[in-house]
Structure 1
Amino acid sequence: MGETHRSGCPINLSLEVFGDKWSLLVLRDMMFGNRRHFNELLSRSEERIASNILADRLSRLVRLGMVSKAPDPSHKQKVVYSLTEPAIQLVPVFAALGAWGRRHLPASPELSVRARLLEEGGPALWERFADELRELHLGATRPPGTPGVLAELTAAYEREVARG
């Protein structure tokens, strides 16, 4: 039972998967905020996503294969959401969106710092970040001694907030 697509254009097909703002923001929060539970995604959303919209987007992202859902081993009634490989491969897209937004829109300094670091780090940093996400979300192993990108991005964000 395949889905009907408006056209076979790759940009159209991509937008049909993650083209509404909430889907991209959920993926962003999972990727850059390491938010893996419904309540974390809900309560720590800068944009204040409504719970019914969050539930809808999570189930849509699971259905489309961008996110997986599994029982949380640490808590019987919770589930943990993980990015899938196709979602992890969006790292360069998020880097480009952040760089463009930082350059052309009134982005705040604390929310721009990660975009700046990703832009400056370029493809080598994006690949290291993707490998770290594969480790966190897919259980892959990184070579020993590979520096983590998420901690670096989070620390830069927290320094910027402290300055504010």
Structure 2
Amino acid sequence: MENNSILDRSKIRCPVAAASRVLTDQWSVIILRDITFFGRKTFRDILSNNDEKIQSSTLAKRLKRLVDLGLLTVRCDESHSQRKIYCLTTAGIDLVPIIIDMSAWSAKHNVFQAHTIEFLKPLQEKNSVAFRNFIEKLTKEHVAPT
């Protein structure tokens, strides 16, 4: 089981090394992307709409890991007793600027179809109204749902 603080103090003493435990796992970052930018909050939504074709067993393990790390919480869907809704925590929302920066870096050094990166451009300026509104929207939807 992962240490909920992300940093297992007995093994990792560097903040960069601790963050790399989350950010170097391809699937975890992609799952966070899907939840954050595409509003995919259920197992089925993530699995069936994921362009990278994540396997269901991998998705289940990564969702559990993200919950254990304190980046996601799980809520029951009131309309369907067996459906779980995955929501970002404050720590998960704090990763959003990093994911945006990862996308900007990748777009700068690689060629992608415009539609795959255009939607993030307004969010790249962290002091912009668009960015602040996006973070506020995520916080309302995930951390403090109505």
Asked if TM exceeds 0.5, the reply is yes
2:75 is aligned, of 58, 66, 70, to: 70
For structure 1, the 5+ residue unaligned runs are 142-164
| Residue 4 (structure 1) shift | 5.9
Asked whether 1:117 is paired with 2:122, we answer yes
Bigger share in helix = 1
Q: 1:63 to 1:44 in 2, by over 3 A?
A: same
Q: Percent identity?
A: 33
Provide Cα deviations, 1:67-112, integer angstroms capped at 9, x if missing partner: 0011111111111110000010112111211111111112221111
Asked whether 1:7 is paired with 2:12, we answer yes
The structure 1 segments of at least 4 consecutive aligned residues displaced by more than 6 Å after TM superposition are none
For structure 2, the 5+ residue unaligned runs are none
| Residue 117 (structure 1) shift | 2.4
Asked whether 1:87 is paired with 2:58, we answer no
TM-score between both structures, scaled by the size of structure 1: 0.78
| Residue 60 (structure 1) shift | 0.4
- The 8 Å contact of residues 102 and 115 in structure 1, kept in 2 or not, is answered as no
| Residue 33 (structure 1) shift | 0.4
- The 8 Å contact of residues 122 and 131 in structure 2, kept in 1 or not, is answered as no
Provide Cα deviations, 1:25-63, integer angstroms capped at 9, x if missing partner: 000000000111000000000111110100000000011
Aligned residue pairs: how many? 140
CA–CA separation in structure 2 for the residues paired with 1:35 and 1:81:
8
Question: What's the counterpart of residue 33 of structure 2?
Answer: 28
TM-score between both structures, scaled by the size of structure 2: 0.87
Aligned amino acid, residue 122 of structure 1: K
